[in-house]
Amino acid sequence: MPYSGSMHHRVINRRVFLLAGLCVAVLAPVAQATTLQRLTFEELTDSSDMIVTGKVTKTWTAWDASRHYIWTHYEVEVAATQKGARTTTVQLSEPGGTAEGLTMAIAGTSKYGVGEEVMLFLNKMPNGLIRTTGWGQGKYTIDAQGRLHADMAPRGVEYVDVKTGATGLQPLATLDGLTRQEAGLRVAARLRATQRSGKVQ
- State how far the Cα of 92 lies from the Cα of 16, in Å rounded to an integer: 23
Give residue-wise pLDDT tens across range 86-143: 999 999 999 999 999 999 988 888 899 999 999 999 999 998 999 999 988 999 999 9
Domain ranges of the chain: 11-197
pLDDT for position 29: 39
Distances (CA, A) of 199 to 19, 34, 147, 156, 194: 32, 30, 30, 34, 5
pLDDT for position 31: 44
pLDDT for position 41: 97
- State how far the Cα of 33 lies from the Cα of 55, in Å rounded to an integer: 30
pLDDT for position 134: 92
Whole-model pTM: value is: 0.81
Per-residue pLDDT of the chain (201 residues), as tens digits, is: 333 443 333 343 333 322 333 333 333 334 456 788 999 999 999 999 999 999 999 999 999 988 989 999 999 999 999 999 999 999 999 999 999 999 998 888 889 999 999 999 999 999 899 999 998 899 999 999 999 999 876 667 888 998 898 987 888 999 999 999 999 999 999 999 998 877 655
